[in-house]
């Protein structure tokens, strides 16, 4: 019996059967934060406590006029 026939018989897809998970170390990616950006974000005295990424993005684009993300350019 072929693999596809056996998998069909037990009701399992071929992709599920052949799936191999990645080691945990490859799933987590860490990126270094730009020191200037870190300083800007830590010194948001006039802003609310947790503004969220949309408000922070708007603030950085309007007030700081810096490009820290290639998608903003």
**Whole-structure pTM value:** 0.40
Query: In this model, does residue 10 exceed pLDDT 70?
Result: yes
In the chain, where the domains are located = 30-73
For the segment 13-19, the average pLDDT, to the nearest whole number, is 93
Count helices and strands (H / E) in the chain: 5, 0
What confidence score (pLDDT) does residue 40 get? 77
Assess contact for 59 and 47: CB atoms under 8 A: yes
* Predicted local confidence at residue 56, as pLDDT: 78
Alpha helices in 1-73 (DSSP H): 3-10, 14-18, 24-27, 35-42, 52-59
Highest mean pLDDT: which range of 11-15, 18-22, 32-36: 11-15
């Amino acid at each position: 019996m072929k693999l596809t026939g056996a998998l069909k018989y037990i009701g399992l897809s071929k992709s599920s059967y052949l799936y191999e998970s990645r080691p945990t170390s490859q799933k987590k990616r860490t990126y270094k934060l730009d020191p200037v950006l870190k300083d800007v974000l830590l010194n948001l005295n006039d802003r609310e406590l947790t503004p969220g990424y949309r408000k922070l993005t708007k603030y950085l684009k309007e007030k700081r006029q810096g490009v820290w993300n290639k998608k903003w350019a």
